[in-house]
Structure 1
Amino acid sequence: MSETPRELEPQLSVQPSSQPEPERGLRPPPLFQLPLPNQDLSETHYQPQLQLSESVPEHQHQTQSTVWINHRRLLLLLLGLSLCAVILGLIYYIHHNHQNRSENLTGTETACVSPACQRASARLSMSVDPFTQPCDYFLFTCGSDRLSPDSGGRQRGQGIPGHPQNQRGEAVSPERKAQIKEREDRRLREDKILDRKNVLLQYLRETLESKDILGSTAVQKAKGFYSSCLDTKSVETAGVEPFLELVQKLGGWAVSGQWNRTDINSTLSLLMRDYATFPFFSLSVGRDPKETAHGTTKRYIQIDQPDLLIPIEWNSKTQKSQARTQTLRPFLASCQTYLALLGAPRSSRMLHVGTFISLSSELAVAATPLEYRLSRGQLYRRMTIKELQSQAPAIDWLGCLQATFHPLPLTEDDHVILHNLPYMVHMSRIIGKWLNRDELSNSGPLHTYMVFNLLHTLMPALDSRFSETQNNLSVALGKSEGVAPRWKDCVLETERGFDLVLTDLLEKRTAHREAEEIIQNIFTSFKSKLRKLKWTNQTTLQRVMKKVHFLIPRLWTTKEISSEAELDLLYSKVTVSPQSFFSNYVQLLSLWQKRRRKLLTEQTEATDILSVTPVLQGNELLFPMGMFVPPLFHPTYPRAMNYGVIGFLIAKDILHLILPEIYSQSQTVHTVGECVWAHYLTVTEQAGRGGVFSLSAAQRQEVWVQYSALQIALQAYHQSLKNHPRDTTISGLSRTRLFFASFSQVNCDLDPYREFMPLEPSFLITVVCAKSGLCPTNLECPNKTQQPLLQTC
């Protein structure tokens, strides 16, 4: 931990007292008496000792000696009392001066009055301040499932077998309907928390809804698309007609009684090319990790099993997937509702729904979990399109891929990467079997299956009856997380098609210099923290430090677009209709597919505008621009606020990325985690109670990460003050107090590791403040019993 900044150190200046010292009025008894009137002065001069003893009687001499002793004792007493008074006054002066300098502005601090600071000040005034409300700041405010003094020792994240850094989480069993409301309420609470993803979406919302700057043509189209998405009245008025018209363009379907008996591969090619719909398999573009390790940046078409609409579960005994029996009834009901909304005759609904479920169940047999395929070596299997055609002949692979990636030249000798070849073989066999079932030739089950998948793709653009049906099914399956607000869905849909536009807008509004500065300062503090850890051996330390040394941390900016003119040209063929979200959404799907096509030929990695955590690419540690948006970060904020919020989050992210190298090789992680937990048990008066659980390895790890991240951010801020002593403040708070107050606002960040934090991260302020001189006031809860002095972790 770095030294306390100078403005927090009391400047002692003891002034001389203007009052006379108490002992100045006292005089010691005379050692010599004046000579008697008739006494010879010469005698006195030559025989002083004799005259003294002879002129004073014995009893008078003893009395004077006693008086002198008493006076001396009184003098010593008064001197002692005076010294104590001075010491007490000095102590009071130090405390009073230290408190005043903590609570009020110093001469070097000025108030930040920018609009961003004014909004931040309003937020701080509505949040709990750990220094004025020390009994409340560590309470359980992030979620209802945390450990609390009244929860009987319930462990947060109980039942989770391991940390997500170390292994993949297992599938969560369906929740009861009674739990749905609780989860929705929690979602509403979490929407109010300044977690990074919600903050970024809200910022993009404000950007799309702003009318201060008109922007380029591409920007106006993005805003028009977003606006049409919000226009639910027009969506409700349009109803199902736009979808039915689209189905007719695809040759109709047997459900409506009008079907042109189109070829399965011709319909599949259209769905893949124009509507980004992949009924029988999924499609993506990416690198081969085996080649990436050798520096190759070539990208391949990657083919995987699809996201089946029917709910399935993995049977570990048979090593096969199967439809979940208890969910078939609600799934059947939802399919019937969809057909009813699309105007299908009641007499034929059951036939088409039955064949759809039967076909889906057969395809699901060969779908396997990712962990299973990884253990069997089924991921990243490369083969030519010609070889794939021989393995799964029911699909015209070359024709479908050429249509999807037109105008890129593809041949049967081009390589693709398979992630589940056994599924492709099984899927081809099932399609061939259903094509040869003469009794079902008039009902077109394969074509109906593809239309159902198209309906699922276009569901966001249809009226609320479809989304309500989908949500009811989720509730029945125990998967509902609540209905997101419309604006949030619209922001996400806009990003799918206009990601380059939003990326360009975000890049122009990001304070690059300030963001780069805090990234570099936090990374430097992080490296300093690594050197102070207790390592098992120096070889391990050198290996980790060498890896960290070659990392290049920087802001993740894009090189795809260099001008507004390029953006306008890219979106020149897009026509946005203000009152037809469906037609706009269809164009979005086409844009989405064009982006996938472009990725196949590009060598640079496209930025992910919705990313809010850093990523490692080779030796580069990239921090997305979405991390540096208000209210989490602003260039006009006091640096104390920026370091307390985004500085802490950056440090936490870096530690999670490098964590595997640290956790297994340093005892510090275990020791510090237990030390912080001991603080928590003591302050909450749970120490010594029966039933209070000890921390798991994953929990100790997460406690150490967040505690260390707070220390790293504070150290980086102190270092920045040494380099640039001037800083502003808000709400009249001292620098360190503003740092901690800002941190306490975002300690509930919703990241993948949140479930492993057994206490409110804001409690870490208490542990840091246990180190004398760091905090402006002592954090003690007056209604708690006096706690023993806590050690420094």
Structure 2
Amino acid sequence: MCMGKASLSSSFLLHSLQEGGDESGQELRGQIQAGGMEPPQSPESPPEAGPPTEWRRQWSLTRWLLVAALLFGLLIGSSVLWFYIFRNCGPPPCETPACLDLLARFLASRNTRVAPCTDFYSFACEKAKDLPALAEENKSRLKKLLEAPGPWNLGSGEEKAFQFYNACMDTDAIEAAGAGPLTQVIEELGGWHVSGNQTSFDFNRTLKLLMSQYGYFPFFRAYLGPHPSSPHTPFIQIDQPELDVPLKQEQEQKIYAQMVRNYLAYLNQLGILLGGDPLTAQQHASMSISITSQLFQFLRPLEQRRARDKPFHNITIDQLQEMAPAIDWLSCLQAMFTPMSLSPTHLLVVYDLDYLRNMSQLLEGQLLMYRDFLQSHMILGLVGTLSPALDSRFREAHRELNQKLWELTERPPMPAHPRWMMCVEKTGAFFQPTLAAMFVRDAFDLRTQSAAMRLFTEIKDALITRLKKLPWMSEETRKEAHDSITQLQVKMGAPEWALKPELAKEDYGDIQLGPNFLQSFLSCVRSLQARNVWSSLQPSPQHRWKIPPWGDSAHYSIYDHVMVFPAGLFQPPLFHPDYPRAVNFGATGSIMARELLSIFHQILRPGGCPDCDTRAIQEIRLCLERHYDNLSSSDTTSFNGSHAFLENAADVGGLVIAFQAYSKRLLQYRGETTLPNQDLSPHQLFFRSYAQAMCREPSTQDSQDTPSPPSLRVHGSLSSAPAFARHFHCPRGALMNPFRRCHLW
């Protein structure tokens, strides 16, 4: 057992003196025990009692010199012994399999040639891009589950999920089928002029089939969602479409023209693959591009719509029919949202009336003059969405298009994902209840659940403590923030409905697998759409779970004040019950804290907290803006308005709160460990783990929620933390120890 330095030195000294056994030892021992360290005093004695006085004086001096030498030797010895104890009684190394795997990952991702204080991102993350991300590792875990043989009940959800995955992976069968299954789909839609087999074309019938049977929306989006002012009531919502080609208002004309040429070449290739004459295919591809370009001109960014009028409108189906008569709205929406019973007076939520009016006028003109081209436009768009279920010619054409478009927009090159990853994603989407139960059983046992919930509780408590120390927050706002945190519900792992045995083993009776993969794929699309409608109509809609249980990001549901952490977030290398606490607090704990702070985004927006110290908030905002601008280099994205401020402020605050929670944990509990052979203190390991969590590229699924690039996230947050510079001994003025810091949270 390790002892304190003073206690150890005194005990060791007393023990040594006891072994000597002489008078001076006894006397000195008594003084030490009494707390004194003065030189021993010899009482005077009569002459007859001993040697002459001069002799006694010399002996006393000699004796004192011997004692001093002994004390000096003991001091040196105890210092050496203390150094040895200090070096060997620090946090012991964690040598469990989980820790050794994490150690290998840390070693593989770092660059030791870079000084931590100069460029911590390169030091910790330079080679991280060569390692699988957490999302990929979670999908790999699903892959192993889907490829493991099991005694599944005939027709059960498990069996159908396995059958679908295996059919997706059977590329030989998909290649052998060729374009035949797709040609059959086109015939069911009425055929098209490109291949010369057009039979009939009823615009609204085709549109209704595309929406309800194929999940494709060529001109607008329609979906069930909570009403903006009544979050627990599902409403049909009509919004702008998601166009296949990512055109943007601010793009240069040269880039825009190149993107259009690439997209035109892709559509032309699709027509030829489906048996069309090259000249005819090119004509129809050109008209499709023309329709897309005109629709694009009608679109307005969300910020512009909010500035000009209300963000949404409540109107009936009848009123929408008058405004946009080209669409048979009642028929299309009824087919889409069965079993809902719709009527002309049914209320809708519409987000852009001007777009719908202009779209309707465009369609009316096309139907009068270019009916064949309009149908080709709809079919070509559908083929693009079905490319994952088609043979390699269609998949490769779609991949090349996306690659070219990414290069033109100067984004990083798209990684080439293996076939199994797409098959896992599709199987997970279509059979989520079944795969959720399988994943949670395998990856989120009771021990992990308990450790995750304990971590969240400590992060939440640290935030509550932090709220009391914010000088810019008013007392009323502080109380509201405190109540918001204490009343927050938290869900971890997977939704309750997905883990019920009867749902996990759901037979998916409406899914018919075969006779080819495309037909299986489309059957799953219809089943999923019907389940989504059914789920939205339930008394407790499951809109809070916007991410699958194997997802790697958290989500806050503002409608029912619930924070959701999927099981996939509590996986290596971000979390494990056997990890040193520094790792779990630094990686997953900072993510939890960041998500908690997202609850308070509104009070940081201009005018969001009138009774707060708005001047102080503005000063902090400008300070943080300058801080990130100084860190930004020419090839990274710097601050971009209000949203960037909120995202970066949440990063900085999440780190601060997680570190506070970890420091409190160290004071209250013993038993911390560290990684072997790393020479990292627990605090250094905390910051290293935080960087490891930030190394990954942000998701591009929702550009509005995309934070800063990883390098900026790592440097922006860590350089804002004085504790980082202190524990890594960074000199004042270094990149990671700036002269000025911004303190918001």
Aligned pair partner of 2:452 in 515, 519, 522 = 515
- Pairing partner for 1:207 from 136, 145, 161: 145
Mapped to 1, the partners of 2:4 and 2:696 lie a distance apart of 32
SS in 2 for 1:770: helix
The structure number with the bigger radius of gyration is 1
The one-letter code matched in structure 2 to 1:493 is K
Alignment of 1:83-482 (within 5 A): 83-102=71-90, 104=92, 117-128=96-107, 189-190=128-129, 192=131, 194-195=133-134, 197-211=135-149, 214=152, 217-292=156-231, 297-314=232-249, 324-437=256-369, 440=370, 444-477=372-405, 478-479=408-409, 480-482=413-415
- RMSD of aligned residue pairs (Cα, Å): 4.9
Residue 442 (structure 2) pairs with residue 500 (structure 1): no
1:426-467: CA deviation from partner (whole Å, max 9, x where unpaired): 111111111111xx45xx111111101110121111122223
* Alignment CA distance shift 1:31-1:23 (3 Å): closer
CA apart distance, 1:304? 1.1
- Quick one: distance in 2 between partners of 1:338 and 1:313? 24
The answer to whether the 8 Å contact 2:192/2:198 transfers is yes
Q: Which amino acid aligns with 2:304?
A: Y
Change (3 A) 1:705 1:781: closer
**CA displacement 1:635-655 (0-9 Å, x = unmatched):** 565656544542333223323
Please give the alpha-carbon distance, in whole angstroms, between the structure 2 residues aligned to 1:263 and 1:102.
78
Residues 575 and 629 (structure 1), Cα distance of their counterparts in 2 relative to 1, 3 Å cut: farther
Residues matched between the structures, number: 672
The CA deviation string for residues 582-609 of structure 1, in whole angstroms up to 9 with x for no partner, is: 2221112112321332244123232231
Q: 1:252 to 1:668 in 2, by over 3 A?
A: closer
Report the equivalent of 1:484.
Answer: 417
Give the conservation status (yes or no) of the 8 Å contact 2:213–2:526. Answer: yes
The partner residue of 2:693 within 739, 743, 746 is 746
Deviation, 1:80, is 5.3
| AA of the residue aligned to 1:446 | L
Deviation of 1:662 after TM superposition, in Å, equals 7.2
User: Which of 511, 519, 534 is residue 574 of structure 1 equivalent to?
Assistant: 511
2:554 matched residue in structure 1: 613
**Counterpart contact for 2:594–2:651, Cα < 8 Å:** no
- Aligned pair in 2 of structure 1 residues 538, 307: CA closer, same or farther (>3 Å)? closer
Match of 1:597 among 509, 529, 533: 533
Which residue in 2 is equivalent to 1:690?
Answer: none
* Aligned-partner residue type, residue 244 of structure 2: L
- The residue correspondences of 1:745-764 to structure 2 (distance < 5 A) are 745-751=692-698, 752-755=706-709, 756-757=712-713, 759=715
Does the 8 Å CA contact 1:336/1:353 hold for their aligned counterparts? yes
CA–CA separation in structure 2 for the residues paired with 1:218 and 1:371: 43
Distance 1:742 1:304, change over 3 A: closer
Question: SS of the residue aligned with 1:403?
Answer: helix
How far did residue 298 of structure 1 move? Answer: 0.9
Could you tell me how far 1:249 is from its partner in structure 2? 1.7
> What does the per-residue CA deviation read over 1:719-773, in whole Å, with 9 as the maximum and x for residues that have no partner?
7x64xx67888759999479647556435254543534252978899935837xx
2:28 corresponds in structure 1 to none
For 1:513 and 1:505, the matched residues in 2 are separated by: 19
Structure 1 contact 22–78 (Cα < 8 Å) conserved? no
Query: How far apart in 1 are the matches of 2:460 and 2:563?
Result: 10
Shift of 1:505: 2.6
Is this contact kept in 2: 1:525–1:712, CA < 8 A? yes
Contact 1:640 1:717 in 2 (8 A): no
Distance change (3 Å), C-alpha of 1:768 and 1:636: same
- Is the 1:264–1:447 Cα contact (8 Å) retained in structure 2? yes
Could you tell me which amino acid in structure 2 is paired with residue 714 of structure 1?
Y
Further displaced range: 535-544 or 297-306: 535-544
> Given the superposition, is the C-alpha separation of residues 710 and 463 from structure 1 closer, same or farther in structure 2, using an over 3 Å criterion?
same
What SS does structure 1 have at the residue aligned with 2:342? coil
User: 5 Å matches for 1:527-538?
Assistant: 527-535=464-472, 537-538=474-475
Go from structure 1 to structure 2 and tell me whether the alpha carbon gap of 1:697 and 1:600 turns closer, same or farther (over 3 Å shift).
closer
CA pair 558-127 structure 1, distance change in 2 beyond 3 A: closer
2-side partners of 1:143 and 1:130: how far apart? 9
CA–CA separation in structure 2 for the residues paired with 1:599 and 1:84: 80
SS at match of 2:238: strand
- The residue type equivalent to 1:284 in the other structure is Y
Question: Are 2:516 and 1:560 aligned?
Answer: no
What CA deviation, in whole Å up to 9, does each residue of 1:323-372 have, x standing for no partner?
A: 93342222222221111211211231222122212222222221122222
SS of the equivalent of 2:348 reads: strand
1:539-554 to 2 correspondence within 5 Å?
539-554=476-491
Please name the residue that 2:33 is paired with: none
Q: Which runs of 5+ in 2 are unaligned?
A: 26-39, 632-637, 699-705
* Partner deviation per Cα, 1:480-530 (whole Å, 9 max, x = no partner): 523333222222222221122222333444234343333223212332233
Q: Is the contact between residue 134 and residue 781 of structure 1 (CA under 8 Å) also seen in structure 2?
A: no
Moved more, 666-675 or 587-596: 666-675
More helix by share: 2
- Percent of aligned pairs with the same residue? 24
Distance in 1 (alpha carbons) for counterparts of 2:234 and 2:647: 39
Say whether the 8 Å CA contact 2:157–2:505 is kept in structure 1: yes
Q: Secondary structure at the match of 1:278?
A: coil
Label 1:324 to 1:765 Cα distance change in 2 as closer, same or farther (>3 A): closer
Offset of residue 568 of structure 1: 4.6
2:523 counterpart residue number: 587
What is the 5 A alignment of 1:618-637? 618-635=560-577
Deviation string, structure 1 residues 396-425 (Cα, Å, up to 9, x no partner): 111111111223211111111111111111
- AA matched with 2:16: S
Amino acid at match of 2:101: A
Partner SS state of residue 365, structure 2: helix
Offset of residue 301 of structure 1: 1.0
Residue 534 of structure 1 deviates from its aligned partner by 4.2
**Which range moved further: 750-759 or 425-434?**
750-759
Describe the shift of the 1:701–1:583 C-alpha distance in structure 2 as closer, same or farther (beyond 3 A).
same
Secondary structure of 1:382 counterpart: strand
TM-score where L is the length of structure 2: 0.76
Whether the 8 Å contact between 1:669 and 1:704 is mirrored in structure 2 is: no
- CA deviation map 1:514-568 (0-9, x unaligned): 4333322321233223334444554443343233233233436424356444455
Out of 473-482 and 206-215, give the one that drifted further: 206-215
CA deviation string 1:64-122 (max 9, x = no partner): 87x988877776666655545444444433332122112547xxxxx77xxxx414413
TM-score (norm 1): 0.72
CA contact (8 A) 2:165 2:423 kept: yes
Stretch moving more, 565-574 or 25-34: 25-34
Matched with 1:172 is none
Matched residue of 1:324: which SS?
Answer: helix
Q: Which amino acid aligns with 1:484?
A: H
Q: Please give the secondary structure, in 2, of the residue aligned with 1:622.
A: strand
Kindly indicate whether the alpha-carbon contact (under 8 Å) linking 1:124 and 1:742 is maintained by their aligned counterparts in 2.
no
**Paired residues of 2:694 and 2:714 also in contact (CA < 8 A):** no
**Relative contact order, CA 8 A, sep 6+: which one is greater?**
1
